[in-house]
Chains A and B, each alone.
Chain A
Amino acid sequence: MRVMVFVKASPDSEAGVMPGEEELAAMMKYNEELVKAGVMLAGDGLHPSSKGARVHFSGDSRTVVDGPFTETKELVAGYWLWQVSSMDEAIEWLRRCPNPHGKEGIVEIRPVFEPEDFGDALTPEIHEQWQRMEAQQGS
């Protein structure tokens, strides 16, 4: 199964405080372990929400709101995509993660939907579109 692991934002991450050399080295080492164990599929850190934007939807209307956003703990500061055998294994891996913020912080694990979860919504037309899109990506 796949899980998405979200590092929630902290006052520091939102203030754009970059990790020090030691923290960065510890995180790199951890990532390397994940890669070597065949667990890590992808992962990145995100800029603070001050560099982000939101689009609010209401019926047919769209409103763009620039960051920063206030509810720090609800924001995402980074993510991983892992392949694991169970949620238990994901939790066990996450327990080994160096504290991303050094202080208080929350990291959340959520199982990823598999395409079959979409059932009939994945119509042949959507399939066709999907293929074109991927062909354009040139992969």
Chain B
Amino acid sequence: MPKICIALLVLLLTACSRGDGERLVITGSSTVAPLVNEMARRYAALQPGLRIEVQTGGSSRGISDARSGLADIGMVSRALRDDETDLLATPIARDGIALIVHADNPVAALSADEVRAIFTGQVNDWSAVGGAPGPITVINKAEGRSTLELFLAHFALDNPAIQADVVIGDNEQGIKTLVSDINAIAYVSIGSAEFAERRGEPLRRLPMGGVTAGIAQLRDGSFPLSRTLNLVTRADATVAVTAFLDYARSPAVHDLIEQQAFVPLP
């Protein structure tokens, strides 16, 4: 009996120990994660013995993990703030945030004032903004998410002022909630929205400031609500880390970036 216990313990311990190869841990933004996942898969195929783990948890986690050394690389879906300059940012792609409605919603576009009125609860019915009568379901993001910060900054809104009917976590949950409600409005990453549309989800992106929320507009810089997707590292990054950063900036991954409906940087 005790012998078996010891044998099991030894087995467990060896199973937990690391393999021989190099290991890269990348954590952070759930917007950037699917893209980095694809990059990592392709990169690992070129580098036998290298294991790359990609975990989500939001831009703040990407920053704090990169700082504390819990992760080798952090994923951040916004520009670095003034108090984050201790980290090095490597921009890898551009993304935009689009307002989305249900595909069967007849509203063609909303002005910035209408968006503000809807999200602050001054307008509660679609008929007031040129749609079919029906109570508007406002879908907002949970506190701390970079999509929320960008959205608030663009429309000069304050989170406490927003009268949300539903609060969601990641883009995917937002899309799932929106397509089940013809009267809902939400904002998600253009990449996630375009992906969902290709899957056949019934949703529609609204233009912003008269500009279509699409890839071409992101690329030529005309879309007003966009952001840079960054990988952040500490100043003392290892050779393996900088090699991966170089790969993520190279034309070899441009097709992956476009697949995810993001825009490669020149």
A and B associate in one complex: no
